[in-house]
Structures are given as structure tokens and as C-alpha cells.
């Protein structure tokens, strides 16, 4: 795969003039930093700045507003000199579906910036920008993003559509409270000598251990900071939102009693509905990536086991993409969602694949395996007495590499309900979000996988043509039609679901078409399977065109002159060739 070899190619490109300012690192056209997390307003500012810097390639628009009235920005990347958007296969990239899964937005911003910075400098980047279209949505859930970044972060996974979680007729009235005003929703522990469920670890006093069933501890954990705001005897039971933005899509949607957080019907949420309408209006989208947050995984559908796996032809495509992704992304594993993660009904990946016929992945961006990434250190993590084994590794990393920035030490507090307690624990950026100093590699490797995926979307071309006189003014015309990339123009799952318009093979010109058919092997004599359609000048190719395959169409025509043969694939573009019949 050529994109994976970009680092190797750079040296040779420099010698060939492929990289500007030979012998030095080119200056950035738009210098940007990548060591902090941006709130929604700052994301918009950065998008507008990039659009102003590269107006010939970038177009910024809004797909709609979130429930909270924030714009859902979409950046289109296209080179109009090489064709209109709808005539090219497009890659849809989204992030921040869950409000607390923030780093995906920065990956998308980095992707836009990197493509533009290196257009005309790195040949492979230039080629892919010329051949493809990108639709980039940095934040599907801007309400949740701001709630996480600008507040304490607790409960920010959801969106902000009101939900009455405790059934008292009032929505969102009893969430966590930052009782000591330090900006962190901390864990609460209470000292109860001989009557508890936990004890303080001998290895590290910050770690709470569950005692064995036949023992008692001196501590009990009481959840997270908060009080009984609504007087119903419960604490923190009705926070903001309370649903899952990634359970509201149309494929395999299930009601709340089967799939928690799914809401009342598919696409009820304004964010999911707006982006679905955006995608439906752009059927040329052939690939999709939905960046999520934690686990180090490259996930494909299906989200639930009961619908069965994908057809074999589709699995072959997904497996090649996913297994290559495991090489691009160390510490990531390629999994099926329900097997490697958990069951998901009504998720976006299933909708993209099943409802829209789009080959789709979801990358879980941060892997804790990256804390200690040498074979020696990984061995030490398996040794019980090692300072980096088990939970201890996370504390060690925070102490020595982040200088304690991720942890709030336990401290006494007089709680209005629980009395004397201690509060402390990890802050909102710890654990699920990568350390800032490790951002660039995470951004770049994930971008590289997504660009590889985009490069493998269908790319149609016309090949050899031949004309042979059969008798009188009757001629046999053959034309090679090729898909140069891995992904077919119509997946088998999409064909079965009628999710994508059939490809169209059309002829325009001076000749009359008598018969047409696909040649099994043009290099060997044999029968041609006739196409049984009334309009042979407009053949519907319902199964699409397989990946990395050349097929030969044979026409039997009457007359002489010019005939133009055109192959049009919604997700593979439109290509034509002219044939002189004489």
C-alpha cells in the first residue's frame, strides 16, 4: 500500500523534486500547534482559518444545529480542477459522537491540515487529494464536547436532549455536583472500621482494593461527588441527557428495554438526523471513519450477533483493510464490534454499512498499552511486584511522565449527607484521553489508516478497446472496464439491501446495439453470457464492479461511426472511452 510507505518515499521524492525546499524541512504554510484540546468555538475558528488559507480546496458549511444550538461543522476537501464532488468517491470522517471522546476532533483537524500542508509537496498526498473527496465532521456532539471541556466533564458522554432518567416528571435535575469547587468530580470514600468493602492498597495508598468475600475492609466507596438535588433519596441519578448518541441510527435500532439509551425512534436526535440527511444527499460517499475514544481498536460491524456476519466477499475487503490497519496502528486490534467491544444496536457503523452501502470503521483511539511500549516494560507489567503492574502502572505514568497532573489526592471533606469522607481520584482528562505529549503520533497514525482506507475506495477506469468486423456492417466491440482499488463499487451487503443505485453501463453514438454481454476471459475462446435487458444502450449492473478487477464488455453492433462507452458508479465515479467502429 503506497500511503503506508510515505515515510520511505519522502527521501526519493526530495531527489525528484517531489518535496519543496530540498535538504531542509519545509516551513509550514499554516503553523498550528497540536498540544491542547479545543472547545467548540475554537474548533470552528481553526476550521475557518484553514478554509481562508486554502480556499481553492476547502469549503466549510454546517450540516445543521445540535440540540443546544451549536453548528455541526463539515469541511469538504476537493480539488475542483480534477472533477466535481459528486463524480468522485468520497470519504466521510466524523468524530466526537460521545461528548467526552474529544481527541477524535483533533485527529480530523490534523487530517485537513496535513492534506493541505503537503499537497504539492508529497506526491502521494497530492494524488489522493486529486482523486478523492473528503467530508470531515470534527464534532458530531458539540454540546457534549463543550460540557466536557468547559465543565467538570462528568456525564458528558451523552448529548443535551432532556431525558427524565428517574421518572419523576422533571428532566436532568440531579446530576453530579462539584462540592469543593476544584473543577473535578471526585470519587468519595468513607472510613468505616471493620464494616467496609474496600481497603487501601499496601502498594500505593491512592489505590482502593476490593476485599475478598470472607473479609471486611475499613472503607466503603460512595460513588462520585453530589447531593440529592431533587429530594428523592437518590444522588446523581438524573444528570444531563442520559441517552447514547450512538444508539439512535436506523440499522438494527432497538427500543430502550433492549438497547439502553436508544431514545424513542431512529434518528430522533437532531445531530444523527442532520448528518444522515447530509450523507443521503451525497451518495458518492464510499468510505467512513467514526473516531471514538478508548481501547485501541479498529472496529467493523455488525454491532450485534443476531443479524449474522457480513457476506464473505465483504469480509475479505474488511479483513484486508483492518489487518493492514493493525500494522499502521501498533497496539490496536481489528475486531467485530459485538465480539471485540460489546453489543451495539442502532450504531452509526451499522447504518453506514447496511443503510448507505458504505465500507465503515470506528477507531477507538487511545490504548493504555502505549503507556509502556517496549517489550521489556510489557514483561514488567506482568510481574506482580513491578511498580508498573496492574493499576500501579497508571499511577507510575502519571507520577513520572505527567508529574501528577492527572490525579487529585484524597483529602478530607464534610459531606452534607455522608458526613466526614475523603474525596479524590482521576481528573476528566485522565485514562480515556491520551496524554497531550503523545498526541501527534496518535493523530498521524490514525489519519494514515483513514487515508489508506480512502485510497482503497473504488476508482474506475477504462482500458483496452478492440473492434472486429463480423459480417457486412456488423462489428464486435470489446471494452475493458476496471476498478483499480480494493473496495467494490457496490458491496454484497448493499446489493442485498438495495442500498445503492446499480452501476450504469451506457453507450451513446452512431451505432445500433444488437447484443451485449460480459466476456468471461477475453484471452480464451468461449461463449459470452448475454445480458437480458431491453435497453442495451443503458445496462444496469446491479452487482457493481468488484475491486481490483478488470471486466470486458462485448457489444455486437450494426453500423459505423463513433460510440462512447460510459461506466457510472455512484461510489466509484464516472469514466468514458470513445471507440471508432469501422
The CA distance from 187 to 68, in Å, is 29
The CA distance from 328 to 311, in Å, is 26
Coil, strand or helix at 52 = helix
pLDDT value at residue 22: 52
pLDDT value at residue 520: 86
The CA distance from 7 to 5, in Å, is 6
Coil, strand or helix at 15 = helix
Q: In terms of Cα–Cα distance, which of 172, 108, 175 is closest to 140?
A: 108
> Which DSSP string corresponds to 368-428?
GGGGS-SHHHHHHHTSTTSTTSTTHHHHHHHHHHSTTTTEEEEEEEEETTTEEEEEEEE-T
Per-residue pLDDT of the chain (582 residues; tens, 9 = 90+): 455 444 434 344 344 444 444 557 889 999 999 999 999 999 999 999 999 999 999 999 999 999 999 999 999 999 999 999 999 999 999 999 999 999 999 999 999 999 999 999 999 999 999 999 999 999 999 999 999 999 998 778 999 999 988 889 999 898 899 999 999 999 999 999 999 999 999 999 999 999 999 999 999 999 999 999 999 999 999 898 999 999 999 999 999 999 999 999 999 999 999 999 999 999 999 999 999 998 999 999 999 999 899 999 999 999 999 999 999 999 999 999 999 999 999 999 999 999 999 999 999 999 888 899 888 998 999 999 999 999 999 999 999 999 999 999 999 999 999 999 999 999 999 988 999 999 999 999 999 999 999 999 999 999 999 999 999 999 999 999 999 999 999 999 999 999 999 999 999 999 999 999 999 888 888 788 899 999 999 999 999 999 999 999 999 999 999 999 999 999 999 999 999 999
CATH architecture assignment, domain 460-581: Sandwich (2.60)
Question: What cell was used for 7?
Answer: 515515510
Phi, psi at 412, each rounded to 5°: -65, 150
The CA distance from 147 to 245, in Å, is 15
What is the CA 58 to chain-centroid distance, rounded? Answer: 20
3-state secondary structure 132-201: CEEEEECCCCHHHHHHHHHCCCCCCCCCCCCCCCCCCCCCCCECCCCCCCCCCCCEEEEEEEEEECEEEC
pTM exceeding the 0.85 threshold for the entire prediction: yes
Q: Count Cβ atoms below 10 Å from residue 154 Cβ, excluding itself.
A: 23
Coil, strand or helix at 124 = helix
The CA distance from 204 to 207, in Å, is 6
Q: What are the domain boundaries of the chain?
A: 3-148+243-366+434-455, 163-240+373-426, 460-581
Q: Count Cβ atoms below 10 Å from residue 550 Cβ, excluding itself.
A: 15
pLDDT value at residue 178: 94
pLDDT value at residue 9: 42
Q: In terms of Cα–Cα distance, which of 242, 248, 29 is closest to 120?
A: 29
The CA distance from 415 to 367, in Å, is 36
Cβ-based neighbours of 520, under 8 Å, separated by 6 or more: 526, 527, 528, 529
Half-sphere exposure of 511 (CA within 13 A, CB side): 29
Strands (E), 427-560: 460-471, 474-483, 503-509, 512-519, 528-530, 538-541, 549-558
Residue linked to cell 467512513: 288
pLDDT value at residue 17: 41
H-state helical runs in 265-374: 270-280, 312-328, 337-340, 348-350, 356
Do 3-148+243-366+434-455 and 460-581 come out as alike in CATH topology? no
Q: Does domain 3-148+243-366+434-455 have CATH number 3.20.20.30?
A: no
Q: In terms of Cα–Cα distance, which of 285, 324, 25 is closest to 133?
A: 285
Cβ-based neighbours of 95, under 8 Å, separated by 6 or more: 101, 104, 105, 107, 108, 137, 138, 139, 140, 290, 291
The CA distance from 472 to 456, in Å, is 45
Question: What cell was used for 509?
Answer: 453514438
Phi, psi at 278, each rounded to 5°: -60, -45
The CA distance from 359 to 174, in Å, is 41
Question: What cell was used for 73?
Answer: 461543522
What is the CA 517 to chain-centroid distance, rounded? Answer: 39
Asked if 348 and 97 touch (Cβ cutoff 8 Å), the reply is yes
pLDDT value at residue 433: 92
* Helix (H) / strand (E) containing 218: strand 217-224
Q: Count Cβ atoms below 10 Å from residue 428 Cβ, excluding itself.
A: 20
Asked if 318 and 310 touch (Cβ cutoff 8 Å), the reply is yes
Amino acid at each position: 500500500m503506497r500511503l503506508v510507505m510515505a515515510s520511505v518515499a519522502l527521501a526519493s521524492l526530495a531527489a525528484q523534486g517531489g518535496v519543496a525546499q530540498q535538504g531542509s524541512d519545509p516551513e509550514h504554510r499554516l503553523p498550528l500547534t497540536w498540544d491542547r484540546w479545543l472547545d467548540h468555538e475554537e474548533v470552528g475558528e481553526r476550521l475557518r482559518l484553514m478554509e481562508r488559507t486554502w480556499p481553492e480546496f476547502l469549503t466549510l458549511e454546517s450540516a445543521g444545529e445540535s440540540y443546544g444550538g451549536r453548528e455541526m461543522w463539515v469541511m469538504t476537501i476537493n480539488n475542483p480542477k480534477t472533477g466535481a464532488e459528486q463524480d468522485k468517491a468520497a470519504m466521510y470522517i466524523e468524530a466526537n459522537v460521545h461528548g467526552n471522546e474529544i481527541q477524535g476532533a483533533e485527529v480530523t483537524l490534523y487530517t485537513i491540515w496535513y492534506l493541505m500542508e503537503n499537497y504539492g509537496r508529497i506526491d502521494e498526498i497530492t494524488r489522493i487529494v486529486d482523486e478523492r473527496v473528503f467530508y470531515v465532521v470534527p464534532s458530531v456532539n458539540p454540546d457534549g464536547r463543550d460540557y466536557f471541556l468547559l465543565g467538570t466533564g462528568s456525564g458528558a458522554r451523552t448529548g443535551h436532549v432532556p431525558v427524565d432518567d428517574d421518572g419523576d416528571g422533571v428532566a436532568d435535575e440531579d446530576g453530579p455536583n462539584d462540592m469543593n469547587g476544584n473543577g473535578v468530580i471526585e470519587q468519595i470514600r468513607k472510613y468505616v472500621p471493620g464494616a467496609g468493602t474496600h481497603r487501601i492498597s499496601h502498594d500505593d495508598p491512592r489505590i482502593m482494593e476490593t476485599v475478598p468475600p470472607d473479609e471486611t475492609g475499613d472503607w466503603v466507596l460512595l460513588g462520585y461527588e453530589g447531593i440529592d438535588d431533587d429530594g428523592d433519596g437518590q444522588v446523581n441519578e438524573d444528570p444531563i441527557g442520559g441517552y447514547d448518541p450512538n444508539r439512535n441510527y436506523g440499522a438494527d435500532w432497538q427500543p430502550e428495554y433492549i438497547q439502553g439509551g436508544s431514545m424513542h425512534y431512529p434518528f430522533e436526535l437532531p445531530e444523527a438526523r442532520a448528518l444522515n440527511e447530509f450523507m443521503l444527499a451525497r451518495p458518492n460517499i464510499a468510505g467512513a471513519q467514526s473516531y471514538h475514544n478508548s481501547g485501541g481498536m479498529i472496529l467493523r460491524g455488525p454491532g450485534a450477533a443476531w443479524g449474522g456476519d457480513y457476506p464473505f466477499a465483504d469480509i475479505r475487503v474488511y479483513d484486508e483493510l483492518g489487518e493492514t490497519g493493525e500494522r499502521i496502528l501498533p497496539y490496536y486490534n481489528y475486531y467485530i464490534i459485538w465480539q471485540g467491544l460489546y453489543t451495539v444496536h442502532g450504531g452509526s457503523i451499522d447504518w453506514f454499512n447496511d443503510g448507505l452501502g458504505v465500507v465503515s470503521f470506528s477507531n477507538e483511539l487511545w490504548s493504555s498499552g502505549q503507556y509502556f511500549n517496549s517489550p521489556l516494560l510489557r514483561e514488567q507489567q506482568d510481574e506482580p511486584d513491578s511498580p508498573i503492574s496492574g493499576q500501579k502502572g497508571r499511577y507510575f505514568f502519571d507520577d513520572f511522565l505527567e508529574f501528577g497532573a492527572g490525579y487529585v489526592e484524597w483529602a478530607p471533606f464534610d459531606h452534607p449527607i455522608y458526613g466526614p469522607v475523603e474525596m479524590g481520584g482521576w481528573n476528566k482528562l485522565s485514562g480515556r484521553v491520551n496524554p497531550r505529549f503523545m498526541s501527534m503520533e496518535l493523530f498521524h497514525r490514525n489519519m494514515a489508516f483513514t487515508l489508506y482506507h480512502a485510497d482503497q475506495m473504488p476508482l474506475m477506469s477504462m482500458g483496452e478497446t478492440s473492434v472486429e468486423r463480423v459480417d457486412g456492417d456488423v462489428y464486435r466491440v470489446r471494452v475493458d472496464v476496471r476498478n483499480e482499488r480494493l473496495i467494490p463499487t457496490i458491496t454484497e451487503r448493499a446489493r442485498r439491501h438495495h442500498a445503492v443505485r446499480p452501476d450504469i453501463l451506457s453507450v451513446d453514438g452512431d451505432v445500433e446495439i444488437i447484443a451485449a454481454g460480459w466476456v468471461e476471459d477475453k484471452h480464451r475462446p468461449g461463449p459470452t453470457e448475454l445480458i437480458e435487458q431491453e435497453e442495451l444502450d443503458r445496462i444496469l449492473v446491479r452487482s457493481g464492479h468488484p475491486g481490483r478487477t478488470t471486466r470486458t464488455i462485448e457489444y455486437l453492433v450494426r453500423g459505423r461511426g463513433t460510440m462512447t462507452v460510459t461506466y457510472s458508479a455512484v461510489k466509484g465515479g464516472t469514466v468514458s472511452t470513445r471507440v471508432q467502429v469501422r
